[in-house]
Every structure is written in structure tokens, then in C-alpha cells.
Amino acid sequence: MNMKTLNKFSLSRNKALVAYLIVLLLMIIAPLVIKDAFILRLFTTTYIFSIVCFGNMLVVGYTGMLCLGFVAFYGIGSYAGALAAKELGFGFLLSVLFAGIVAAIVGFVISLPCLRLSVDFVGLITTSFLNIFLAIARNWRSLTGGPNGVTGIPRPVIFGYRIASVTSFYYLMLIFMVLSFILLNNIIHSKYGRMLQGIRDNELGAVSVGVDSRKMKIFAFTVGSLFAGIAGSLYSFYISAINPDNFIFNISTQIMQMCVLGGMGSLPGAVIGAAFFTVVPELYRSLALYRIGLGGIIMVLCMLFRPQGLLGSRAFAGDKGFADRIKRARVVAQQKKAAAK
């Protein structure tokens, strides 16, 4: 890498850092400007979904595996955190950590049979696991409360301060979202992140240079499940009551749509996608019932005109999108026109 390339890379990273700091500053001052509690609740929910999208992005966007039932790990974390606080008497932070660890252990176990399968079959396995999780949540009444779920989840208490107001929940979820972003961003830009991206782009090539694809896929699945579990526990503390309907397949589809729209292989894209699918349907309530259908239409448009999403990696762009075909047709037309002259 020559000095010119190095300076260009350094300048690009500095610009990204400045952009992150500006966005973070806007998020911090938002409650001081926005007095509508409903809008603040939407942003709070966006931060929670951003964390679960971070986990899904690590598995799908950076490693190239397909996890259609990712909401199962989100649900496991939600139930684990709620039961730890309500039944075991754990504090808030300990409950969140416990939920993340439980989800990570389950993710580790589920990843083992996925290693020998193609991407499509991994999606089927995770979908089947989601159905198993929902069946357990709906029928193990003594543990999960059955269809009624878990209610009366205590409010978070941190160092003696009780989180109860809309603004305090906003800042709490913002802190967790920012910390999750920093941790995953460091992982992605480390040698482990480069290994994962190498597996995504060309697994055979990555293996040929010494990357243990088996261990790295387990690592991605485990860490992704960890963040999904943390997000699930935050969600349960936020709404104080959960039931199996909070974790159905439609929610898993919605999480995937958030990642696709924002951009596969992009953590900032995950935040944008989560914000779009959380805020827009609620601001326009008449569209809320059609959220999944609108999401499907948006995904089709993304596949046609921008396969990598808004901020996604070029690894997902391909060369078969409708927009690329139009560009190639224009180039061919120009070449024929020039040859005719």
C-alpha cells in the first residue's frame, strides 16, 4: 500500500468518524428538542431493533450465512432476561448479561449442524428452530406462561436509579446501541472480521490461505446470537410484558428486511433499516397493517436497482441487477453508435 492510498484511506476513516459523532450528537440532543413521547418511544424501539440487526448483520451480512429464524434468539434473550429478573431476582445488568449468554449458548449449539449445509438449508434449519422455540414458549406454561407470556417484569434499576420515564429509557437504549455498535465495529475491522468477510466472498479461497471457516462461522453465529439475546432482554424490560406473538416469523422477516434495506454488510445501514421499518409505519398508521407487504416490495426494488441496499457492501451488488443491465445496454449502444461512425 503506497503513501497516497494510505492517506486516502485515513481521510475516509476520519470522515466516517466525524459523521458518526455528528449523528451521535443529534441522537443525544433529540429528547431536548422532541417533546412528543410517542416519537421518543419510536426511536427507543429503533435502537433495540438496531442491536438485533447488528447481530443478524454479523451472521448474514458479514459471514454470508442465511438465518431466517433469527428472531428465535431475540425471543430467547427476552424470556431469559425477564425470568432472570422476575423469578431469580437478578439485577438489570446481570439479567441482560445472562440473557445474552443464554442466547449465545443456544446459537452455538444451533450453528453446529449448519456447518455442513448450504446457505439455503441453513435458512430452513433456523426457521425450524424458530417454530420449535414458539411451540415451547406457547406450551411450557410453568416456565414461559404459555400464550399469556411473562408479565410484571420489573423496571430496570442501575446503581440505585430506577429507569421508568420515556427519556430515561431512550438514553438507556441509546447507550446499549452505541456500545454494541462499537464492539461489533471493532470485531468487523479486526482480523476476525476480515476472515468472516473472506468466507462470505469466497469460502474456498479463504480456506486455502489458512482460515478455519468452521470455527469462524461458529464464532459469527455465537456472537450474533449474543447481541440478539441482549436486544431481546432490553425489549422485555422496556415493555414489561412479553408473549410468543412478539417473536413470530413475521418479526424475523422484518429484521431481515431492515438489514436488506439498510445494506448488507453495513452496521450504519442496520440502523437506517431499523429506523425506516419502525418509524415510518407508525407515523403513517394506515400503512402499519401492510408493513410486511411494503417491506417485500421494497426488497424487490432493492434487488432490482440496488442489491446491496442503501449502504451495503459491493460484495452483495453483483452484476445482474436491473440498473446494471441498463448501464451495460447504454454502453453497448454507445459502442455501436461509435462503430457506425
Q: Cell 429506523 belongs to which residue?
A: 275
Any bridge partners for residue 157, and if so which?
A: 162
- Its domain, for residue 280, covers 39-285
Within a domain: 339: no
Within a domain: 140: yes
Sign of the alpha-carbon dihedral angle for 196, 268, 249, 46: positive
pLDDT-based confidence at 109, cuts 50/70/90? very high
pLDDT-based confidence at 219, cuts 50/70/90? very high
pLDDT (0 to 100) of residue 80? 95
Exposure of 218 by Cβ count < 10 A (0-12 exposed, 13-18 middle, 19+ buried)? middle
Proportion of the chain in helix, strand, coil states, percent, rounded to 5: 80, 0, 20
Query: Which residues does 25 contact at the CB level (< 8 Å), separation at least 6?
Result: none
Within a domain: 96: yes
Please say if the pLDDT value at position 103 is more than 60.
yes
Within a domain: 300: no
Within a domain: 23: no
Mean pLDDT computed over every residue of the chain: 85
Within a domain: 138: yes
Within a domain: 3: no
Q: Give how many domains the chain has, as a whole number.
A: 1
pLDDT tens digits, one per residue of 256-314 = 888 888 888 888 889 999 998 888 777 666 666 666 677 677 778 777 777 777 776 66
Within a domain: 150: yes
Query: Of 49, 102, 97, 51, nearest to 73 (Cα)?
Result: 102
pLDDT-based confidence at 74, cuts 50/70/90? very high
pLDDT (0 to 100) of residue 3? 58
Please say if the pLDDT value at position 7 is more than 60.
no
- Residue 271: which CATH number? 1.10.3470
What distance in Å separates the CA atoms of residue 312 and residue 228, rounded to the nearest whole number? 21
pTM: 0.86
Q: Cell 464492539 belongs to which residue?
A: 183
